[in-house]
Structure 1
């Protein structure tokens, strides 16, 4: 869905007095995660991933009891907007990776289940933007949409498997770049962008050198990092490359030379897919994070040759 259409959709959902429109959209939101509640409420709390300064919207098929919303650490959220059948949450910048908050919602009609409990887990970047919650029977449209998404996911897995097998069978060095069509007659372009990028305040990692590269099939960013004195060794787990408009490139791999300890500089390489030249034009933000830890790195104004 184009970003402009997505913004319009969210605006419609959170404007008061459109309960009927919300119910229709609830059945067909593409890409939304679905949670089904059992009548006996015996299942454990469903986990929902949130991120600081990123909106997460919960859409219910039943009217909420607005006074019955309980949110642990409510002061840690910049916005808690309760609608008739919607709940929008925006964690504040103070929320760090690994933090957890208990959320309880109650329903107005008193039918089973009368309430639902969720566990909100903070992540540096992977917030879930849309979550649908069902108490009753789902419409046929939602099952059809879910089947389409499963098929799409299967196709992506097959494509990824084919790519990995091709890389496994490819030779190393320049021959490997040629065989995978990453190298053409124009070669691979590189650029030192250390002075151009900006590092967000509060990062525990210090950037020494940043280089960007472009091939015929993708882009890569090479970062030389140092850990602040006294900190534990840092190992990157995930990465995200996003344009100012919010469009993300598909990250293919995150490679790290070794765990980065105090007093040394380590090298991290992020590679992303960008087969079309226009796919990686303009400035990007790059975010790196560690596994199950609060320490992350954000660089802005990353450009490619």
Structure 2
């Protein structure tokens, strides 16, 4: 199955959806692959797979799958379920698949060997999904283990780089001196625009937007959103954020800060989302999605642009 990444990329290109395959900027380099090995007894644990509305998740099997044997709980909550090739299965949740929901996917294999089927639990996340899942019934090849080691080394190196960046920022002084010392400004300063009027909000959000401001420096962008409490909703605090462009490319979010919980009787609270962006990075529009600790209550803003 060591050619599986190339095969699935071709499959998605032929599908013509233009969907993102990874959660960081769209690229085939460093494509994250999860590998699941099945066993032939009843002790096989049910694997959980993260999926997200509008994003593809592709399963690739080392045995042929029966199209008639594919069972997806809550099929109406998926915009795409495509068994395009005998060993490939692609699905895309719709917006009806809410964060935190859990649905079962079961596939049956054609050859009758054990295990005869495999079951997965699809867990909805507001913005994150696992793009590619390789499922093995037979003994894996040496090449797949070598590829897994290679990916682990790449991820370890990325973690080391991120750790070095965080250490450097922590040791830097606060305030304007810190911005200068870490080259965030790089003699450029901070560009700022008020984008409140142009920003749209998806209905049913956990809070209502009042004002939206966008910032850019030499290497960072930031969105500042003032949120107001709505209805009878419980207090809400952002725990994570995503900034995604039209082509499903994502900016790397560095931190999310909130001035206080959005709660009944409280004034508007500010949420600041900071992300990496080179000076030549596109201005947008981007979609900003914020979610709370359990991922169920979200705020989604569209048409966010940067200076």
TM-score (structure 1 length as normaliser): 0.88
User: Which residue is equivalent to 2:33?
Assistant: 32
Matched with 1:182 is 184
2: distance between equivalents of 1:8 and 1:160?
A: 28
CA displacement 1:1-25 (0-9 Å, x = unmatched): xxxx99962346769xxxxxxxxxx
Counterpart position of 1:23 = none
SS in 2 for 1:145: helix
Task: Judge conservation of contact 1:241–1:286 (CA < 8 Å) in 2.
Answer: yes
Quick check: 1:243–1:283 contact (8 Å CA) kept in 2? yes
Decide whether aligned partners of structure 1 residues 29 and 81 sit closer, same or farther in structure 2, where only a CA change above 3 A counts: farther
Displacement of 1:229:
1.8
| Distance in 1, Cα, partners of 2:265 & 2:129 | 33
Structure 1: tracts of 5 or more residues without a match: 16-27
> CA deviation digits over 1:99-124, x for unaligned, max 9?
10112211111212111111111111
CA–CA separation in structure 2 for the residues paired with 1:228 and 1:10? 44
Could you state the TM-score of these two structures normalised by the residue count of structure 2? 0.87
The 8 Å contact of residues 234 and 261 in structure 1, kept in 2 or not, is answered as yes
Does the 8 Å contact 1:36/1:133 carry over to 2?
Answer: yes
Which SS does the other structure have where 2:155 is aligned?
helix
User: Which residue matches 1:270?
Assistant: 273
Aligned 1:184-203 pairs, distance under 5 A: 184-203=186-205
Deviations 1:72-102 (A, max 9, x none): 2222222222241122222222111111011
Q: Secondary structure at the match of 1:278?
A: coil
Residue 65 of structure 1 deviates from its aligned partner by 2.1
What is the root-mean-square deviation of aligned Cα atoms in Å? 2.2
Q: Who is 1:281 aligned against?
A: 283
Residue number in structure 1 paired with 2:306: 304
Moved more, 81-90 or 113-122: 81-90
The answer (yes or no) to whether the contact 2:126–2:295 under 8 Å persists in 1 is: no
Q: In 1, Cα distance between the equivalents of 2:9 and 2:139?
A: 28
* Alpha-carbon distance change, 221 to 247 in structure 1, aligned in 2, over 3 angstroms: same
Contact 1:58–1:130 (CA<8 Å) still a contact in 2?
A: yes
**Count of residue correspondences:** 288
Q: Match of 2:65, SS? A: coil
